[in-house]
Amino acid sequence: MTPDSTGRIRTDIAHNARVWNYWLGGKDNYPVDREVGDQVVAMYPSIGEVARADRAFLGRAVTYLAGEAGVRQFLDVGTGLPTVDNTHEVAQRIAPDARVVYVDNDPIVLTHARALLTGSPEGVTEYIDADAHRPDRIVEAVRPILDLDRPVAVMMLGILNFVLDTDEARSIVRTLMAAVPSGSHLVLTHPTLELGGEGNAEAMEFWNKNATPPITARSRAEFASFLDGLEVLEPGIVSCARWRPPAADAAEGADAAEVAQFGAVARKP
Ligand SMILES: C[S@@+](CC[C@H](N)C(=O)[O-])C[C@H]1O[C@@H](n2cnc3c(N)ncnc32)[C@H](O)[C@@H]1O
């Protein structure tokens, strides 16, 4: 193990948050991340499109939630490294008083959190170092920051895929959604082998031998089970690239290219 000055960051093994940052064109990554990232691209050439489509979906979902749906509180679990149009930027552009709490367990995300903690003066932008495997702790940590009697958008983009046990993943979602009231929303993305994506399975196998944390894909039925008891908004469970694509694309009659990542937004009745 090669810790850096924080004593926690490992530079000898690729980390998901840093490789994701590399695929998005960011600079917050190490040679080991770029090496593994390039090897994954060689096996699964559309992974960069998946990462970009996921971020674009985040932007459209948060725009809808802060705008039309009037949500003012966001709990973004599995934040990732800061990039363009992070949740608080999109939300506070529309509603400067929006309160955004980020949660991640990667030490490099914590190190860079200072860059994230610069939201609008009217709103709140906080970062919590916590593990999705302990949703009860997340709820407790969030309680002093968000008003859990008012709607919260719980965002879990590209993170349940790191909870390998599907029952546990369902239980995490249930615990978080049980802590928030009616009118709250769940925003999810998740990789799948059911939407094409040449080389995806092979790349995941490679990832699990060479990087951390280990990942799994899920079927549409498994993804749908995370949304049990919630009202899934139009257009339902689709490739995240096809969730309410930008008006310009629709006007041209062009369907956004499908990527192998499910996306959905659902409302707690
Ligand atoms: C694929 S990135 C997605 C980032 C962002 N949500 C997005 O969609 O662009 C997954 C993030 O989840 C974080 N993560 C993975 N397992 C986690 C866990 N058990 N608890 C908290 N965060 C976790 C990683 O550190 C990484 O930042």
| pLDDT averaged over every residue in the chain | 93
In the chain, the number of structural domains is: 1
Interval 139-195: pLDDT, tens: 999 999 999 999 999 999 999 999 999 999 999 999 999 999 999 999 999 999 999
Domain-embedded: residue 1? no
Domain-embedded: residue 6? no
Q: Whose CA is nearest to atom 9 of ligand 1?
A: 55
Interval 126-136: pLDDT, tens: 999 999 999 99
Interval 29-68: pLDDT, tens: 999 999 999 999 999 999 999 999 999 999 999 999 999 9
Domain-embedded: residue 5? no
Mutation pick for ligand 1 pocket among 90, 104, 171 (CB with most ligand atoms within 8 Å): 104
Beta strand 211-212 with 14-15: parallel, antiparallel or unpaired?
parallel
- pLDDT category at 117 given cuts 50, 70, 90 is confident
Mutation pick for ligand 1 pocket among 87, 116, 129, 159 (CB with most ligand atoms within 8 Å): 159
- pLDDT category at 266 given cuts 50, 70, 90 is very high
Domain-embedded: residue 47? yes
Beta strand 99-104 with 124-129: parallel, antiparallel or unpaired?
parallel
Per-residue pLDDT at 249: 65
Domain-embedded: residue 126? yes
Phi-psi region of 183 (alpha: psi -120 to 50; beta: other; left: phi over 0): left
Q: How far apart are CA 81 and CA 51, in angstroms?
A: 13
Q: 116 vs 185, which has greater pLDDT?
A: 185
End-to-end, the C-alpha distance of the chain in Å comes to 47
Domain-embedded: residue 9? no
150 CA distance to ligand 1 middle (Å): 25
Domain-embedded: residue 177? yes
Smallest CA-to-CA distance from 109 within 135, 84, 83, 132 is with: 83
What is the atom index within ligand 1 of the atom nearest the CA of 24? 9
Q: Residue 234 belongs to a domain with what CATH number?
A: 3.40.50.150
Q: How far apart are CA 59 and CA 155, in angstroms?
A: 12
Tell the burial category of 174 from Cβ atoms under 10 Å away from its Cβ (0-12, 13-18, 19+).
Answer: middle
Task: Look up the pTM and report it.
Answer: 0.95
Domain that holds residue 240: 14-267
